[in-house]
Amino acid sequence: MAPTVEPESEPRRVLHLDNVVQAYAWGSRTAIPRLLGRAPTGAPQAELWVGAHPRAPSRVLEASDRPLDQVIAADPSALLGPRVAARFGGLPFLLKYLAAAEPLSVQCHPDPTQAQAGFQREQAAGLPLDHEARSYRDPNPKPELLVARGRFEALEGFREPQVILQNLRGLGAPDLDPLLDTLAAEGLAPFYRRLMGSEAAARAAWARAAAAAARALPSRDPALTWVLDLAERYPDDVGILAPLVLNLVVLARDEALYLGAGRLHAYLRGEGVEIMASSDNVVRGGLTSKHVDVQELLRIVDFTPHPPDVRRPVAERPGLLCYRTPAEHFTLALVRPAGAEARLPADDGPRVLLGLQGELRFSFERAPDLTLASGQGVLLLPAAGAIVASGEGEAAMAAVPSAPR
């Protein structure tokens, strides 16, 4: 469905975006077409990107479909506001709709220093930005928040060593005894380095032994079910043990998972709204056909055991559910007026709206009214002013925090 573009006097304060769909193999074949109101193509569609990342920028309808990063670069102060333009230089966040029908890789993301160093290292090696062997496609960190749109399953963060030891012993696989000995005697980091960093033949043998032992168990604990699922897809990948090593997280609708630097994770299944710093840096450790860099993952991963960082929204004002994180690049809120009105104050930075369901009517202090339908995205310039949202639909709103957190 094409966005509703109403007559507007210059300067424009609301920009309508045509957004990129990423067709990764793990994507759902129906979720994003449903969001966009289109017929499925039969191919997997994994992510809808709404933002200005140079790898797949949105295009601006009012600017003859020019890429958003180029439009912003032409006048960053007007499009982002002086504060955000001075601090970041470009749009600092990337908003996505993610639809995972199959598991994603085991991975983690770098902190700012690691991102800069990794990007410079791969640039010096002469790898093109789109080269399959890259882990660092930009010099930016990638904190991220995923808000579930329904049941969403993921792995995130190391379990306590004693729990991991219990889980692995419960398999009853003697071939894993060397790993258990390392874990018991030396701790989590040496164990995981041995698990992931050993020769390929050893890793494949451990994976097959673990899968065979799991199949013989009468229990169908959710973690064991995922071990078997992953083993069907990647029989020689020792990453199939991740459900026993990492926390298994099941999010309900509107619950969110926050991922800081070094947090090892893998999304398994579900749909969600994802907000992150404007980065495509992913350091993968396995469970994928894409580029894997185990040594880099072991260098940047945080080995501290911790429970999943599950966050729930705060109703900061009627019709607005807000997610608070320590990230300086983004904030995320769900606009859900539910038949009333949601009043949103003016912001000195940019805001991006993505329709999630139904239709919402937005009235702006200094711009024409806008009707936003499911799957449509717009960039609100700071000059648009305060907003009143009404209707029975729902939208995600991404913005920049007012000050570093």
Query: What digits encode the pLDDT tens for the residues 292-314?
Result: 999 999 999 999 999 999 999 99
Q: φ and ψ at 187, to 5 degrees?
A: 105, -175
Amino acid identity of 337?
Answer: P
Give pLDDT, residue 403: 64
Q: Does residue 30 have a pLDDT over 90?
A: yes
CATH number of 20-155+250-297: 2.60.120.10
Give pLDDT, residue 49: 98
Say whether 314-399 and 20-155+250-297 share the same fold: yes
- Domain 314-399 in CATH: superfamily? Jelly Rolls (2.60.120.10)
Tens of pLDDT along 317-373?
Answer: 999 999 999 999 999 999 999 888 999 999 999 999 999 999 999 999 999 999 999
Outline where DSSP puts E strands in 280-339.
283-286, 310-311, 314-317, 320-323, 331-335
Tens of pLDDT along 40-81?
Answer: 999 999 999 999 999 999 999 999 999 999 999 999 999 999
Q: Determine what percent of the chain falls in helix, strand and coil, rounding each to the nearest 5.
A: 30, 30, 40
Beta-carbon contacts of residue 2 (< 8 Å; ≥ 6 apart):
none
Q: φ and ψ at 10, to 5 degrees?
A: -75, 155
**Burial class of 199 by CB neighbour count within 10 A (0 to 12, 13 to 18, 19+):** exposed
Q: Which residues are catalytic?
A: 284
Give pLDDT, residue 340: 86
Token pair, residue 391, equals 């209707």
SS3 readout for 188-200: HHHHHHHHHHCCH
Cβ atoms of 297 and 107 closer than 8 Å:
yes
Q: φ and ψ at 388, to 5 degrees?
A: -120, 120
Tens of pLDDT along 216-275?
Answer: 998 779 999 999 999 999 999 999 999 999 999 999 999 999 999 999 999 999 999 999
Q: Does residue 8 have a pLDDT over 90?
A: no
171-189 mean pLDDT: 97
Q: Does residue 1 have a pLDDT over 50?
A: no
Give pLDDT, residue 3: 45
Give pLDDT, residue 318: 93
Report the alpha-carbon distance of residue 231 to residue 30 in Å, rounded: 25
Cβ atoms of 291 and 132 closer than 8 Å:
yes
190-203 mean pLDDT: 97
Rounded mean pLDDT of the chain?
A: 94
Residue 405 binned pLDDT confidence (cut-offs 50, 70, 90):
very low
SS3 382: helix
Q: φ and ψ at 139, to 5 degrees?
A: -90, 25
Give pLDDT, residue 338: 87
Q: Where exactly are the structural domains of the chain?
A: 20-155+250-297, 160-243, 314-399
Give pLDDT, residue 300: 97
Give pLDDT, residue 316: 87
This prediction has a pTM of: 0.94
C-beta atoms surrounding 85 within 10 Å: 19
**CA neighbor of 233 nearest in space, from 131, 97, 106, 146:** 106
Q: Does residue 404 have a pLDDT over 80?
A: no
Give, in degrees to the nearest 5, the angle at Cα 23 between 22 and 27.
105
Residue 214 parent element (H or E): helix 200-216
Give pLDDT, residue 397: 98
**249 alpha carbon, distance to own chain's centre:** 15
Q: Does residue 6 have a pLDDT over 80?
A: no
87-91 mean pLDDT: 96
User: What is the percent of the chain with per-residue pLDDT over 90, rounded to a whole number?
Assistant: 94
Q: Does residue 9 have a pLDDT over 80?
A: no
Amino acid identity of 160?
Answer: E
Q: Does residue 288 have a pLDDT over 80?
A: yes
1-28 mean pLDDT: 76
Q: Does residue 132 have a pLDDT over 50?
A: yes
Cβ atoms of 383 and 340 closer than 8 Å:
no
Give pLDDT, residue 11: 62
Give pLDDT, residue 46: 98
Give pLDDT, residue 163: 98
Per the model's pLDDT, the better-predicted residue between 289 and 4 turns out to be: 289
Helix pair 200-216, 222-233: axis angle to 10 deg = 130
Cβ atoms of 62 and 15 closer than 8 Å:
yes
